[in-house]
Chains A and B, each alone.
Chain A
Amino acid sequence: MIKRNKEKGIEWLFTALAFSSLVFLTGIVIVLVKEALPIFSTVSLPAFLGGESWYPTAEPPEFGIFPLIMASFWVSAGAMLICVPLGVGSALYLHELAGERQRAVLKPVIEVLASVPSIIYGFFGMVILAPFLQDRFNLPIGLCVLSTSIVLGVMATPTVASIAEDALGYVPRSFREASFALGANRWETLTRVIIPAAGSGISTAVILGMSRAIGETMTVLMVAGGAAVVPSSIFDPVRPMTAAIAAEMGEAPVGSDHYHALFAVALALFIVTFAFNIIAELISRRYRLKLGLSR
């Protein structure tokens, strides 16, 4: 009897542990929505999303987050331009060309790169990259879309490389053999068989890299420049959504419009990254089906 109760207890414990993430997620969503909603009695949703002025502390305050959204969009897009070629290129090199010894060095190095704290990337961007850009392009300030994109791109590269490399690894060896046996060379095999077969996995890698870039806070706080203006060039300083929340939350009185507006920004950010993750999951599921794997 005692033994049975003990087993029941253990079962309950694990059930509770398994469901805890669900509880956290639900809690986060509830709090975000609850704290965000009051702002929409002050501003309409279209004015909030489409408004071009973010002056939360001015009199009267203006809560248009369009500049923040654009800032997040442009730095993430710029980061993609850097981390996709770098990450996918590294994955292809590791998978196709690198010998055992090179792999043994490169793979851990990429993983260490992924584990460098973001403040170190931010520090690097602020102290080395920004002054360099300022000097090189004769800018009033080196903290801008370009510097942020570069730093975020480098940060997201290991994520992309590592997941894309796994995707390439899942392509069965028999596809490669079939291609070679038909007289294809290495390049044809890679571009026409291996990459298409791993294509969905590679797109998952890119999307996850992107959600890493869009959700990154510390780095953008340090290198983006902080101006809440819709950027007109890559040399303009910007204030992405994450940076706005981090920089302003400490000063916004609890319960004020500013406070609720920042929660609404967080909610918008959450929806975007959530959507990215859902898309990534759908793609990778399709990819498993396509290869006939059922993991």
Chain B
Amino acid sequence: MRLTDASVAIRPRGPWEALDLGVLLARRHAGLLLASWALVTVPIFALLCLLLWDYPGWAIFAFWWLKPAYERLPLHILARALFGDTPSLKQALKALPGLLRPQLLASLTWRRFSATRSFDLPVLQLEGLSGQARSQRLVVLGQRDAGAASWLTVVGMHLEMALWLGLVSLFYLLLPAQIELDWSWQSLANAAAGEWLWLEHLSNLLYVLVLIVWEPVYVACGFTLYLNRRTALEGWDIELVFRQLRQRLTGVAYALLLGCGLLLLQAPTPVMAAEIGSCPLPLEDPRGPEAARLLKQPLSSQAAQHSIEQLLDQPPFEHRETVTRWRFGEQEPAAEPSEEQLSGLLELLEKFFKLAEFWNSIDAVALFFEALLWAALLGLVALLGWRYRQWLGVFAGRLGLPQRTATPPSRQLFGLEVTPQSLPEDVAGTVEQLWAEQPRAALSLLYRALLSRLLDDYRLPLNSAHTESEVLRLVEDLEQSELSSFSQALTLHWQNLAYGHRLPPDELRQTLCQDWRRLFDDRVRT
């Protein structure tokens, strides 16, 4: 046995946790345990059934009585699997006759009803103790955790019953309806002695199937309980860590010796690496980043900073709103209650008490409760309304209830007045007049008019933060090719003129004005 090979985490646990570890252990080796148990017990059960065909009760009793004998096989498998030496199915079955030999009679007779059977079995089977030595060992081991072993047996009995009943009822549920009709409970009860033998054998078989699942778990739980007790008694976890520590320390000592030897053997070689040049740091401005710069030109850093701050202070970079609410006025200094008021108050209280006495009948109480309940109901409705107000708002919108009016579109873009009132009646005509003398004013007027129309006719959500190209993109989203080509041409020439001071070609006047008339003038202004 080498503790470092153990396939479970060794540490002292509580008794219940030790049982849980047993469940996990049985689960890891479930295939092998179930198969070996089934291969042993099912033939024995078949044999008993054949021998005692007329007495199914006795057959299952004999099978049940032999349980301690079968339990030795799972323990053998688990004990070997614990230290990584899991036997194959064949090996395990071959080992069975040898396992049965020691103290089988005792296990099957006077120790059959021991509640700590699973906990005691490892002492017998793995430590090979018998007689006086065994009982002394059991006394030592049983100082703690024996209670858990008894509870394990008690719970196990009930689990077997529960699982058996579950299987029986499953079997009953799965019967086809036609057969079920023929079976009445009474005939079952009457026939218990007679022709329903096979049914009893069937229910016995279900018990055998239940044991295939539960017994390996039971044995594993007893085994881990035993392991846990020995871990606590002998400090297995401590031994494990001490051994690892010793290995580490002595290993380190050898490695150090070896390393020293190697170092002494080797002569030091000169260092050949180049010197690392220092990376030049940027010169620091002694005045700091905030200091005033560029003071000898019209746009100094201070002026730029100022205008940046102003811009950042306006929407859309800054969102401000003014909230107006009602609130209580200034608190008046509390007036001293005068004598009259006090006496009046006392009188009122007296009246109130009298009234309360008067009300002290069932009706008043009922009325009170009614009012209370109504108030609660109203409160609940109000609360629900408040809680789901957004949902209600969505719903109200569907029903066509008045919505909050949309905010009026902004009336100034790029510093240009775009209200319809500020534009002349006949935009195209005015532009044609202005074109020769003031081309800038003409194009500006046309562009303003376009923006105004976009705002009012097409309801584009323009605001003063939009750039010309953003406006163009919005126009393209309208998917009207004529409008967008017009807007593109106009915007291009307006930008050329406004920012580049390049005059538009003269023939442009005609095209733009015609386009304008075609696009907008045949429509009635909304």
Decide if A and B are genuine partners.
Answer: no
What is the interface of chain B, defined by CB distance below 8 A to chain A? Answer: none
What is the interface of chain A, defined by CB distance below 8 A to chain B? Answer: none
